[in-house]
Structure 1
Amino acid sequence: MKAVVAGAAGGIGQPLSLLCKASPLIDELALYDVVNTPGVATDLSHISSRAKVTGFLPADDGMKKAFTGADIIIIPAGIPRKPGMTRDQLFNTNAGIVASLVKGVAEFAPTAYLLIISNPVNSTVPIAAEVLKKAGVFNPKKLFGVTTLDVVRAETFVAGITGEADPTKLNIPVIGGHSGETIVPLFSQATPKFEIAGDALEKLTYRVQFGGDEVVKAKDGAGSATLSMAYAGFRFAEKVIRAAKGETGIKEPTFVYLAGVEGGKAIAEATGCEYFSVPVELGTEGAVKATNIVGDANEYEKKLLEKCYEGLKGNIAKGVEFVNTPPK
């Protein structure tokens, strides 16, 4: 199993690379970035775990060397958010970075599972899809937007309320997109069940939707959610790898192109969105089946979903337009 982290020298990339290096599921780990990757790779290579680590820069066909033969490519590359900055304000810079990297994926590793972390995910995943389509290698079952941090936050915050010592024992579906009001936690469908209503429900919902702002503010301009995002990114990547190796019964919310995944058509019709994050069963071919839980939302959640659809449609269109009508 060869894994690649593209953007490996950054605030998310370094801890994500460390988690990948520590995983017994990965045999080869290639790191790619515009700076510092040889040093990061050398540092990680001293760790006594299975994966052999190499680091590449753009010079000397570095992208080609890093991507060739990859089974899974994780892209956290991009600039971080700063205080007062929305995910949309990151768009032009990060959109260009993602488009460039995905062109490399299309050329050097067209059959790899591709996991997009770079924000704004609501737009960068459609960008990746359009780039892959233009190259004639788009496989919607292998393109994933990583929304796991929203699930991780929901688990953590609910555990803090219920007193559950191990938040991973909670199952809380978080659907929609991956920014602000496009993030919709379905607490009514949590297992085990827990009761929350009124102001407490609204505060909990807001905290899941805008947890990233909480981190940006706490870091006082020195960064965004890098460590928690690295954990969430690895958690999803690990599930994709386990499924790729033949493990069955793995399901996780992820932002996918609905028309290309079994079960996705009904979700697209219900939401009016081409892309949406819902629980997806993972298998050797990638996304096996999307689960439609939209219709089971309660009245409070349905109001949240209406706002989600509105924002998400614009985000998706912006990503598609970036590739088909590039900014001058």
Structure 2
Amino acid sequence: MRRAKITIVGAGNVGATTAHWCAAAELGDIVLLDIPATEDMPKGKALDLMQSSPIMGFDSNVVGTTSYEATAGSDVVVITAGLPRKPGMSRDDLLATNAKIVTAVSEQVKTHSPNAVVIVVSNPLDAMVQRA
């Protein structure tokens, strides 16, 4: 039986925590993806998770990458990508910034995993779900 492939876009705190719990629950093999400027971060977080697997008792495979090609054929894509709201930043400012990010991610998901179930966690959540 084939394992599910789960892509998590955004390797920040929310994305890494999502990857941890998906791996620990053995929901499938995990691809943790972030932007090229953070190349070592998703790889490092994936390595941390893989090294914890014998202690935590799971055998899900976790890889970190900055390449959408590695996400091809994902069954589930969780979008956690986006900037956090900064002091003085209005909800409209956050919407404009994160809408661009979620739209770009969604285009990549359509290209590489057109049949995936997409879960959006980026804020402001109500508007980001419509963008995806």
CA contact 1:6–1:76 (8 Å) conserved in 2: yes
1:200-215 map, 5 Å: none
Alpha-carbon deviation of 1:31? Answer: 0.6
Partner secondary structure for residue 13 of structure 1: helix
CA contact 1:87–1:119 (8 Å) conserved in 2: no
Alpha-carbon deviation of 1:84? Answer: 4.3
Structure 1 Cα separation of the partners of residues 22 and 33 of structure 2: 14
Alpha-carbon deviation of 1:114? Answer: 0.1
Structure 2 Cα separation of the partners of residues 127 and 27 of structure 1: 26
Partner secondary structure for residue 39 of structure 1: helix
Alpha-carbon deviation of 1:87? Answer: 3.1
CA contact 1:6–1:77 (8 Å) conserved in 2: yes
Identity %: 36
CA contact 2:22–2:28 (8 Å) conserved in 1: no
Q: 1:125 aligns with which of 109, 129, 132?
A: 129
Aligned to 1:90: 94
Aligned to 1:80: 84
Instruction: Indicate yes or no: 2:64 matched with 1:55.
Output: yes
Instruction: Indicate yes or no: 2:25 matched with 1:23.
Output: yes
Partner AA of 1:30 in structure 2: V
Instruction: Indicate yes or no: 2:21 matched with 1:12.
Output: no
Deviation string, structure 1 residues 136-172 (Cα, Å, up to 9, x no partner): xxxxxxxxxxxxxxxxxxxxxxxxxxxxxxxxxxxxx
Partner AA of 2:76 in structure 1: I
User: Number of matched residues?
Assistant: 121
Instruction: Indicate yes or no: 2:11 matched with 1:2.
Output: no
Higher relative contact order, structure no. (Cα contacts within 8 Å, ≥ 6 residues apart): 2
Partner AA of 1:27 in structure 2: G
Q: 1:108 aligns with which of 106, 112, 117?
A: 112
Moved over 6 A (4+): none
Structure 1 Cα separation of the partners of residues 21 and 75 of structure 2: 17
Please say which structure displays the higher CA radius of gyration. 1
TM-score with structure 1 setting the length: 0.36
Aligned to 1:199: none
Over the aligned positions, Cα root-mean-square deviation in angstroms equals 1.4
Structure 1 Cα separation of the partners of residues 33 and 119 of structure 2: 15
Deviation string, structure 1 residues 96-152 (Cα, Å, up to 9, x no partner): 110111001110101100001111122212211xxxxxxxxxxxxxxxxxxxxxxxx
CA contact 1:64–1:108 (8 Å) conserved in 2: yes
Partner AA of 1:55 in structure 2: G
Which sections of structure 1, spanning at least 5 residues, go unmatched?
129-328
Deviation string, structure 1 residues 242-279 (Cα, Å, up to 9, x no partner): xxxxxxxxxxxxxxxxxxxxxxxxxxxxxxxxxxxxxx
TM-score with structure 2 setting the length: 0.84
